[in-house]
Structure 1
Amino acid sequence: MSYLKSKFHHPNLARNELGLTYRDYEGSLSTLCAGCGHDAVGAALVQACFELSIEPHKVAKLSGIGCSSKAPTYFLGKSHGFNTVHGRMPSVTTGASMANRDLKYIGMSGDGDTASIGMGQFAHVVRRRLNMTYVVANNGVYGLTKGQTAATADKGSRTKKGEEIMWGGIDLPTMALQLGATFVARSFSGDKEQLVPLLKAAICHEGFAFIDIMSPCVTFNNHATSTRSYDYVREHVQEGNITDFVPSKEEITTEYPEGESKDICLHDGSILRLHKGKDGYDPRDRFAAINAIEQHREKGEILTGLLYCDPTLRDMHDFLGTTDTPLNTLDEKSLCPGNHALEGINNSFR
């Protein structure tokens, strides 16, 4: 059986600054379960890239193995793509970024791909602050292999078969904060109004941007005793701040009470506009972010929104002092400067 996506679209679809429509950022027809939250994540990425007027061929999307790692097939069909080995997406992204720093890198992963087999890779790509957007579609279960419990599942919740989970779940945003990520956020696949601005800000952020997205599995983890079901997440989400993304090219104005907003200027000049929550949440304080996550977790709540952002810290290219010219465009003379240059390098180590 073949699945073909209709090429028909309304002739008056809105176009962005490049003259492209939303449909130009879509991918193949999804074969994920009907209602899967991962499709909503893909749709939000499509919307974010469309609104940012990003040239599709300037994006590289990479993934590992799992339902979430299948998702890149269904968005940004005209971009570069690489489906890697299970848990090894960060290594391939690092190599690609070193070869061509001019692309925008979007890594799509899941709770198993990141928090289990890929935990070591995740930890090191965060601490090295690779310039990429790392998205985890987190459903707390291994949907592709029929419902085994993931490392991010909450202690005390139950599987579809009724088995109680005995181990405490790994909180990936907390780990990202502890390891030095310069942009950390959490959202819900069913909250497009919050998710799209967060993705836009993450893509424009120069440094390691991490977004953990609660994305319920409709087949294996959407039952009454699950803490990752649609109903549970909607009832327990607590928004740390209301997020709006303002591109530097065209200012977007909005009315908001005086003293309740905070602007963070990103490297490219774009502004991330935040509206404080009731508790005066400050996304510039890394330790306060960790405490806030834990406080809400103790109450059975999921803190969403922009949890932390520091656009002043350096990324991996800055640390290594790499050339501004992508390595894949350097000529032979630049790559092989000759014996004289080699002797100088060798002498520097004596």
Structure 2
Amino acid sequence: MSYRKPQFRHPRLEVNDLGLTHRDYEGALSTLCAGCGHDAITAAVTQACAELSLPPHRVAKISGIGCSSKAPNYFLNHAHGFNTVHGRMPSVATGANMANRDLIYLGMSGDGDSASIGFGQFAHVVRRRLNMLYIVANNGVYGLTKGQLAATAELGMKNKSGEASLFTDIDLCVSALQFGATFVARSFSGDKAQLVPLIKAAISHKGFAFIDIISPCVTFNNTPESTRSYDYVHDHIVTAAVADFVPVKQEIRCENSDADSEDICLHDGSILRLSRIQPDYDAHDRLHAMARIEQVKAEGKILTGLMYIDPEADDYHEINQTTDTPLNALKQETLCPGNHVLQTINDSFR
């Protein structure tokens, strides 16, 4: 059996502004279970990056441990990549961002990787407002170790073996809002029409962007009693705000003039168009977003879509007034200016 992708490409594949096709943004052949929601996330990331015309070599994809953290191997084969240890993706992403702020950072994690062993690191990378997109593929179980329930599993939820969750779940969207994320969304791996624009907007957002993606585990958590199954999610979705992404060079058109819509200009000039399903929903109100998530959850449903955005947010480098030049580009004489400079600094404290 071969696990290599065929090299044949149709000669008339559509190309983006860089002259690259969708195939140029793919990765290795997936070895995840057939039907895994993570493969749908991979497809959405691939499509989003191709449509944004991102140079693959300017992307750094960083992950931890788990089925979700294997996913970066299946997209952007020509990007930089680093697979860290369990729960430690945020600190490695932070270090890489400090060394080279000019790259586009895409973190891929899972519910165990972020809500359990890596929860502390998740909290601090959010509050520091690192300029990155942080994706959690959330299936509620540990797929690599036979389906034990994760910290994101709701109280009473059962996995395939019948094990019931005895504890209150950690809602990573609520946590991200509390910690200070400036872009928070939730989507479903089976809803590509919603997910792709969210990924494109999150990549274009300056500051910390977080997307929690419900991604059913077909092997251990796709049962009728699971709130992470395909059937349950399809039947219990409630949308907060529908997002459409308009690239900076594309003509802006209003697709639905009857909707309560708002155009938000992102820092790169692209447009994020919000259409509110509920007229009173305010995507700029952090407290309202948290309250709405909990309200919908109490009704046994799942809130998806864009929940919160601060289009004027700053990021780690602005807050700390770091140099505009990436650290990896600084010369030796700048990094080590000599003893006379150190003496001047010491004298300033006397």
TM-score by length of 2: 0.98
2-structure distance, mates of 1:326, 1:335: 12
The answer to whether the 8 Å contact 2:259/2:275 transfers is no
Give the direction of change, closer, same or farther, for the CA distance of 1:5–1:260 in structure 2 (3 Å limit): same
**Partners of 2:63 and 2:108 within 8 A in 1:** yes
Query: Does residue 253 in structure 1 map to residue 250 in structure 2?
Result: no
Question: CA shift at 1:259, angstroms?
Answer: 6.1
Matching of residue 269 in structure 1 with residue 304 in structure 2: no
**Structure 2 matches for 1:191-340, cutoff 5 A?**
191-258=191-258, 260-340=260-340
Q: What is the distance in 1 between the residues matched to 2:345 and 2:76?
A: 43
Question: 2-side partners of 1:76 and 1:136: how far apart?
Answer: 18
SS of corresponding position for 2:47:
helix
Deviation at 1:254, TM superposition (A): 3.2
Q: What is the CA distance between 1:4 and its match in structure 2?
A: 0.7
Q: Which amino acid aligns with 1:28?
A: A
Q: Deviations over 1:184-232 (max 9, x none)?
A: 0000000000000000000011100000000000000001111110000
The residue number in structure 1 matching 2:58 is 58
Measured on the aligned residues, the alpha-carbon RMSD in Å equals: 1.1
* Contact persistence 2:265–2:271 (CA under 8 A): yes
Once the 2 structures are TM-superposed, how far is the Cα of residue 66 of structure 1 from its aligned partner?
0.2
- For 1:296, give the aligned amino acid: V
Secondary structure of 2:145's match? coil
The count of aligned residue pairs is: 350
CA distance in 1, matches of 2:349, 2:249: 48
Distance 1:257 1:250, change over 3 A: closer
1:29 aligns to what SS in structure 2? Answer: coil
Residues 258/329 of structure 1: CA separation in 2 closer, same or farther (3 Å cut)? same
Q: Which residue of structure 2 lines up, in the alignment, with residue 152 of structure 1?
A: 152
SS at match of 2:167: coil
- Aligned partner of 1:115 in structure 2 is 115
Q: What secondary structure does 1:10 align onto?
A: coil
2:67 maps to 67
> Residue type of the partner of 1:105?
Y
Runs of 5+ consecutive residues of structure 1 not aligned to the other structure: none
- Which segment drifts farther, 340-349 or 282-291? 340-349
How far off is 1:284 after superposition? 0.6
1:262-308: CA deviation from partner (whole Å, max 9, x where unpaired): 11111111110010113431111111100110110000111101100
Separation in structure 1 between the aligned mates of residue 216 and residue 97 of structure 2, nearest angstrom: 31
**Deviation of the 1:345 alpha carbon:** 2.5
* CA distance in 2: counterparts of 1:99 and 1:135, whole angstroms: 22
The residue type paired with residue 122 of structure 1 is F
Letter in 1 for 2:218: V
Once the two structures are superposed, residues 323-344 of structure 1 have per-residue CA deviations (whole angstroms, 9 ceiling, x without a partner) of 1111111111111122222122
Q: Structure 1: how far apart are the matches of 2:262 and 2:213?
A: 23
Residue 7 of structure 1 aligns with which residue?
7
Instruction: Please say which of residues 35-44 and 241-250 is displaced more in the overlay.
Output: 241-250
Aligned with 1:69: secondary structure? Answer: helix
Q: 2: distance between equivalents of 1:346 and 1:122?
A: 37
The aligned residue for residue 20 of structure 2 is 20
> How many angstroms apart in 2 are the aligned matches of 1:233 and 1:308?
21
After superposition, what is the alpha-carbon deviation per residue over 1:135-187, rounded to whole angstroms, capped at 9, x for unaligned? 00000000011101100001111121112211111000000000100000000
How much does 1:251 deviate? 2.3
> Identical aligned pairs, as a percentage?
68
Unaligned runs of 5+ in 2: none
Q: Give the match for residue 77 of structure 2.
A: 77
Partner of 1:44: 44
AA matched with 1:9: R
The residue type equivalent to 1:87 in the other structure is G
